[in-house]
Amino acid sequence: MEINLRTNGTVTILDLKGNLTIGAEEELNRVITQVVTDGQKHLLVNMAEVPFIDSSGIGGLIKSFSRVKGEGGKLKLLNPTHTARQLLSITGLLSVFETFDDEATALSSF
């Protein structure tokens, strides 16, 4: 998995590219831990280029969400693919994660 960081105001955007599966979730958690340690509290995870998520990936998203929330921040999802959205729905996580299909709307929600 490739993770590119960019910033828009007080929001750090993580552009993910590749499958969010076992191993990749560890990289996601490492990057998010570093971003939070560096003082960033508003994170937007762009999932537009994540074609597949397995149970480890879901676990990684939950762990990341909990980590950010525990530090008083917010983690939101941007552009989850149809497959990702179905998986989040089936697991009941659509009610946990705020999800957006438009970056400008997502950014203004922080």
The 10s digit of each residue's pLDDT in 54-104 is 888 999 999 999 999 999 999 999 999 988 888 889 888 888 999 999 999
Res 23: pLDDT: 85
3-class secondary-structure state, position 102: coil
pTM of full prediction above 0.75: yes
Res 46: pLDDT: 97
Res 38: pLDDT: 93
The partner residues of 13 in beta bridges, in order of sequence, read 6, 44
Res 83: pLDDT: 87
Query: What is the number of domains present in the chain?
Result: 1
| Nearest-angstrom CA–CA distance, 51 and 80 | 9
CATH code (residue 9):
3.30.750.24
Res 12: pLDDT: 97
Per the structure, the complete domain to which residue 30 belongs is given by 2-108
| Nearest-angstrom CA–CA distance, 98 and 110 | 11
